[in-house]
Amino acid sequence: MRRRILIAGLLAAMVMNAALPASATAANDREDTAKALIAKLVDDDKATAAILRVDGDAGGWAYGAGVGDLVSRDPVAPGGHFRIGSVTKLFVATVLMQLVDEKRLSLADPIERHLPGVVPRGAKITVRQILNHTSGLYDYMHEPGYSTNRWRGKDRFRHYEPQELLKVAFADPAESTEPGGPWSYSNTNYVVAGLLIEKLTGRPYGQEIKRRILRPYGLTQTIVPGDKPGLPAPHARGYEALPGGDLVDATRMNPSLDWAAGEMLSTGRDLNRFLAALAGGRILSGSSLAAMRTLETTDAGFGYGLGLQEYALPCGTKAWGHSGELIGYLTFAFTSDRGRRMTLSLNPSRKRFTTSEIFAIATAVLC
């Protein structure tokens, strides 16, 4: 799980350690700069494939580098699908904030009120604390074999019920801390959030995401897969480097181990559409959007609101959205206060990319 937090904090570290590339200071150079930086990740064997989608008031563009399959060597499709990992949390939080707007719950409500007997100390843990990771609940993905960021062999096709994940999280009460303490990222929170949606609506959380967000806002390329192990075509295959250095194909897996904490699939086009609708005030009331952007200080260098991360960029603007990791796939989906949106999907290779390399791409696009 520590690896996931480090990935989520890449942009924050890069804000402090990288300078704005000179070639990105002019708007007409941003695209060329970003493309060159992405291509270099592939050339340096840090990614088998990388795709970037950028949208703004002046239009949009997409770019892909690398291959979608190491066997066929076919070029990656810039509009392809990928696993979005924890970007799923932004969708889940948005649905819950819609329910807040509908006055079906309050952020101050204790979890016990809506999910009696499900969460230990649920009378002390509020909905807000679940969404902003101050609940103190232990992250089940810390347990061996329960992280989708690690190669799990045949076990990657196993189905998990959300109640199983909570059983793992709550097995040792001493692992959880008092609610309302320091921020601590925990996927357990968003398993609870998914169950909360289901209890309040009487429908699976994925159906609510489809009904409330995907269909109304034209996100036709976004999927809540359930037990489906594959991705729609086109997509780049995701690989994981084993200790000996060999790459194993990790594309197919049952993502129910992540469930509402990170199972979804999407494209750069759809994630940018979602960010535009959310930031533009078309999905939530002004008060709910403001609540989402009310930040907790984190030890990862970014502010965390209700299901979103916020970063201060060196050009004086802010970017907010979410990052995600699921074995074979890394995603960064952000919108700036200036209205420019970017989604970057990477398929890691044998070598590790640096924080400054990723930050340089974000800076070129959003500044």
Return the beta strands (E) in 41-162 as ranges.
47-56, 59-66, 82-83
- Whether 276 has a pLDDT exceeding 80, the answer reads yes
pLDDT number for residue 2? 38
Average pLDDT of the segment spanning 296-301? 90
More confident residue, 211 or 29: 211
pLDDT number for residue 24? 36
Cα–Cα distance, 307 to 324 (Å, whole number):
12
pLDDT number for residue 357? 87
Cα–Cα distance, 54 to 50 (Å, whole number):
13
The pair phi, psi for residue 259, each rounded to 5°, is 45, -130
**Amino acid of residue 338:** R
- Whether 365 has a pLDDT exceeding 80, the answer reads yes
Cα diameter, the chain: 57
Cα 210 → chain centroid: 17
pLDDT number for residue 358? 83
> 162: how many CB neighbours lie within 10 A of its CB?
19
By CB neighbour count within 10 A (0-12 exposed, 13-18 middle, 19+ buried), where does 282 fall?
exposed
Question: Confidence class of residue 329 from pLDDT cuts 50, 70 and 90?
Answer: very high
pLDDT in tens, 211-220: 999 999 999 9
Answer yes or no: pTM beyond 0.95: no
- Give catalytic residues, as residue numbers: 86
Contact by Cβ (8 Å): 335, 275: yes
**Amino acid of residue 309:** Q
More confident residue, 361 or 151: 361
What residue spans define the domains of the chain?
2-366
pLDDT in tens, 35-54: 999 999 999 999 999 999 99
Q: 66 vs 39, 177, 277, CA distance in Å?
A: 7, 44, 31
Q: Which two tokens stand for residue 342?
A: 């970017």
Half-sphere exposure of 49 (CA within 13 A, CB side): 30
**Count of residues making up the chain:** 367
pLDDT in tens, 174-208: 999 999 999 999 999 999 999 999 999 999 999 99
pLDDT number for residue 354? 84
pLDDT in tens, 79-121: 999 999 999 999 999 999 999 999 999 999 999 999 999 999 9
Lowest mean pLDDT among 114-128, 139-153, 197-211: 139-153
> 114: how many CB neighbours lie within 10 A of its CB?
17
Lowest mean pLDDT among 3-12, 124-133, 153-162, 330-339: 3-12
Cα 251 → chain centroid: 17
pLDDT number for residue 313? 86
Identify the CATH assignment for 2-366 out of 3.40.710.10, 3.30.830.10, 3.90.1150.10, 3.40.50.300: 3.40.710.10
Lowest mean pLDDT among 16-30, 63-77, 134-148, 201-215: 16-30
Question: Confidence class of residue 322 from pLDDT cuts 50, 70 and 90?
Answer: very high
Q: Is the peptide bond before 75 cis (omega within 30 degrees of 0)?
A: no
The pair phi, psi for residue 193, each rounded to 5°, is -60, -40
Average pLDDT of the segment spanning 246-253? 94
Q: Single out the residue of 311, 354, 300, 328 nearest to residue 6, CA to CA.
A: 300
By CB neighbour count within 10 A (0-12 exposed, 13-18 middle, 19+ buried), where does 94 fall?
buried
Question: Confidence class of residue 243 from pLDDT cuts 50, 70 and 90?
Answer: confident
The pLDDT mean for the chain works out to 91
Cα–Cα distance, 15 to 319 (Å, whole number):
11
Contact by Cβ (8 Å): 204, 196: no
**Strands 247-249 and 265-266: what pairing?**
unpaired
More confident residue, 337 or 100: 100
350 Cβ partners below 8 Å, 6+ apart? 45, 241, 245, 247
Contact by Cβ (8 Å): 306, 106: no
Q: Is the peptide bond before 234 cis (omega within 30 degrees of 0)?
A: yes
Question: Confidence class of residue 295 from pLDDT cuts 50, 70 and 90?
Answer: very high
